[in-house]
């Protein structure tokens, strides 16, 4: 009887002595870029440090950069803790790069109303690449996704179809086709479904215990959020142009300060973002060349030829700015951004900057430049000082050559010192 009571006591006491089950969760939304790759790395490290049962990646992405995707997939494959990729919430999708990330997970899950697929490489503006480049990039993507699918024992044929023919399927079809492991309506249902499963991690096999686990969400830091925002090619492109606008406006209108400050900040952020993007520096050079042509158009009479060259150069540079030879879709500057930007830039240089330069060339209404050459009448004898009247205004005056100028004589202004005119008799 005592043994039975002792066993009951241990059974009641043991759960409180065991460490609480814990799961780390991160949210991967938007375009895949270096910021999201760093975020995944940080999530895995935290899960390992906290001895978490697993890391859950809530995924909702239309695609992203190839290099960043490779880093994420590598981190997942080498992770010492199980990684569960959960395409959620309802309405989310794992497109393009998201397919590779989902297939690389130890356990892949999807929420109801989600889809996965369409991983064919496309060009910067969304068109299929030319024949040679298309074959090169597609074969590379096929080999990449095949190795992932084989390693995780998922449907290799479907994975290659997703790359070759851009096929996409729903969560139910994905489960039926052995693309994912399960469907779960929410996090709690997911944790109950994966409880007791054994997966192969980098250190060996591990059985997951998550039925009673608590979920700790790891948010992006402010620096990662900023990088994630500006790493969008459209945002980086706009910041780059704003930087050029601001600095040029400050150069041609010294003392404005605000345009220069905003331009400097925008340009620095743009250059920072471009370090994380596959930038084609020929595109950058064309954009800078377009700026030079616009400035020359203002200075040189070319009957619009330089302006036309600037527009063409800016358009080509904008289209070429992001190198998409090795990327998937959404790693480009949208035409909906490029066309308005080219129009605004053209108007900015041909009108705003031109008007500023024109204003600088206008003579001051007062001062030596304006008064020199004006004629008037001597009011008092200049011997050599006296007063004269010019344009209805009475001025102190000095005879420029020292000769005496009598009252009533016509005079001409030859110079000005402060508020005293230097004149000569006509």
Structure tokens at 104: 């690389």
* CATH class of the domain whose range is 14-223: alpha beta
Distance CA 54, CA 213 (A): 10
CA–CA gap between residue 99 and residue 244 (Å, rounded) = 38
Task: Express each pLDDT in 265-317 by its tens digit.
Answer: 988 888 888 877 777 888 888 888 988 888 787 777 677 788 888 888 988 88
Say which residue, 89 or 329, is predicted with more confidence. 89
Q: pLDDT band for position 189 (50/70/90)?
A: very high
Q: What is the DSSP string of 214-275?
A: EEEE-PPPHHHHHHHHHTSHHHHHHHHHHHHHHHHHHHHSTT--HHHHHHHHHHHHHHHHHT
pLDDT at 330: 47
CA pair distance 269, 256, nearest whole angstrom: 21
More confident of the two residues 130 and 146: 146
> Residue ranges per domain, the chain?
14-223, 232-361, 368-425
Do residues 291 and 306 touch, judged by C-beta distance below 8 A?
A: no
pLDDT for the residue numbered 401? 81
Q: State residue 60 phi and psi, 5-degree precision.
A: -150, 95
Strands 93-95 and 115-117: parallel
The domain 368-425 belongs to what CATH superfamily? Nucleic acid-binding proteins (2.40.50.140)
What confidence tens digit (pLDDT) does each residue in 383-413 have?
888 899 887 788 888 888 878 888 888 888 8
Please, which pLDDT band fits residue 188 given cuts at 50, 70 and 90? Answer: very high
Residue showing tokens 């007062």? 366
Q: Which of 18-22, 125-129, 363-367, 384-388 has the highest mean pLDDT?
A: 384-388
**What is the rounded average pLDDT of the residues 252-259?**
74
pTM for this predicted structure: 0.69
pLDDT above 80 for 123: no
């Amino acid at each position: 009887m005592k043994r039975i009571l002792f066993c009951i006591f241990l059974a009641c006491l043991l759960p409180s002595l065991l460490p609480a089950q814990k799961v780390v969760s991160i949210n991967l939304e938007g375009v895949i870029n270096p910021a999201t790759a760093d975020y995944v790395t940080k999530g895995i490290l935290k899960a390992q440090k906290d001895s978490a049962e697993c890391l859950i990646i809530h995924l909702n992405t239309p695609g992203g950069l190839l290099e960043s995707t490779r880093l994420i997939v590598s981190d997942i494959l080498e992770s010492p803790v199980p990684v569960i990729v959960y395409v959620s919430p309802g309405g989310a999708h794992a497109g393009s790069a998201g397919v590779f990330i989902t297939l690389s997970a130890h356990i892949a899950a999807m929420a109801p109303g989600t889809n996965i697929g369409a991983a064919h490489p496309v060009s910067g503006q969304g068109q299929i690449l030319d024949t040679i480049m298309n074959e090169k990039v597609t074969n590379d993507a096929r080999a990449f996704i095949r190795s992932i699918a084989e390693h995780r024992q998922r449907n290799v044929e479907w994975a290659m179809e997703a790359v070759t023919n851009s096929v996409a399927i729903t969560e139910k079809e994905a489960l039926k086709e052995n693309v994912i492991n399960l469907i779960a309506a929410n996090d709690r249902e997911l944790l109950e479904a994966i409880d007791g499963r054994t997966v192969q991690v980098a250190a060996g096999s591990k059985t997951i215990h998550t039925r009673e686990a608590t979920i700790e969400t790891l948010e992006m830091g402010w620096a990662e959020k900023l990088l994630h925002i500006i790493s969008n090619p459209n945002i980086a492109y706009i910041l780059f142009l704003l930087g050029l606008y601001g600095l040029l406006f400050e150069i041609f209108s010294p003392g404005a300060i605000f345009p220069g400050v905003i331009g400097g900040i925008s340009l620095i952020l743009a250059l920072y973002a471009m370090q994380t993007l596959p930038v084609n520096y020929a595109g950058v050079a064309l954009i800078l060349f377009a700026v030079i042509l616009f400035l020359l158009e203002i200075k040189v009479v070319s009957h619009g030829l330089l302006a036309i060259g600037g527009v063409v150069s800016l358009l080509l540079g904008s289209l070429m700015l992001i190198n998409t030879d090795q990327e998937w879709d959404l790693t480009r500057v949208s035409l909906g951004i490029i066309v308005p930007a080219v129009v605004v830039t053209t108007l900015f240089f041909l009108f705003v900057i031109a008007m500023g330069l024109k204003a600088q060339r206008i003579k001051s209404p007062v001062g030596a430049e304006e008064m020199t050459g004006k004629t008037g009448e001597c009011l008092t004898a200049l011997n050599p000082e006296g007063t004269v009247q010019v344009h209805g205004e009475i001025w102190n005056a000095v005879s420029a050559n020292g000769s005496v100028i009598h009252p009533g004589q016509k005079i001409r202004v030859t110079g000005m010192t402060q508020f005293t005119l230097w004149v000569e008799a006509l």
